[in-house]
Amino acid sequence: MTKIFSVVMAIALVGIITVAGTATASAKGKHKQQIEFNATLAVVDILGLETNEHSGWSTIELETLAGVGLVNLVEGPAELTNLYLSAAQSSHEQFTSDFLPAANVKKGKSKGTFYLSVPEFVYNPDLDMIVPVPGETLVVGKYDLKVSSTVECQIYGKGKWKSKAKNSIIDGKGSISVCTNFVPAFGTFVTNVSVTGDAALAD
């Protein structure tokens, strides 16, 4: 396990703990606007992995992903600027090999929950630098993906997301795409996430 992987693991655990502090809203926003942001996540923990070596199908009960840096907001409410993205998902995917770092996905599905949090910055002695960790969670959303692969992506996913005002500062929905590859320097899979759609700030 590399130092970078250790740091991301710590960030993910903090993210899971702070989800309980999610802000709530009592009403649904009415004035929706276009939203677009992207971010990079790293897979930091996998629980309940079952793989059939003959068929290539793998089922993951819980896969935890932590942000590497902050979200890049291209368009949308200013309240979403410079937030920290993390996620937890389950998946059922057919791989080309049981050696996952080198395998591509033939087909499958993933579904999960994503969290946008206000970042806090702490000193990490292993890296001798300041790193972001999630603070108060502002947005909780759900997503579903159909996955395959492309020339550039070992795992390519495309699907839908939504977030409700009762547990987020926005009410919205739209499309999400992911491109995932194994990165040796991180010792894990790294995912580039792109989100588009429309959303309104909760009342």
Q: Answer yes or no: is pLDDT of 164 > 80.
A: yes
- Domain enclosing residue 108, as ranges: 3-201
Residues 37-49: what's their mean pLDDT? 93
Which pLDDT value is given to residue 55?
84
Which of 5-14, 45-54, 95-104, 106-115: highest mean pLDDT? 106-115
What mean pLDDT, rounded, does the chain reach? 85
One-letter amino acid at 103 equals A
Burial 168-201 (b: 16+ CB within 10 A, else e): bbbbbbbebbbbbbbbeebbbbbbbbbbbbebbb
Which pLDDT value is given to residue 30?
62
Which pLDDT value is given to residue 51?
81
Which pLDDT value is given to residue 52?
80
Residue holding tokens 């320097």? 185
Number of domains in the chain: 1
Q: For the segment 125-155, what is each residue's pLDDT rounded down to a tens digit? A: 877 888 888 899 999 999 999 999 999 999 9
The token duo for 149 is 């692969």
Q: Of 20, 16, 23, 17, which is closest to residue 168 (Cα–Cα)?
A: 23
Q: Answer yes or no: is pLDDT of 26 > 60.
A: no
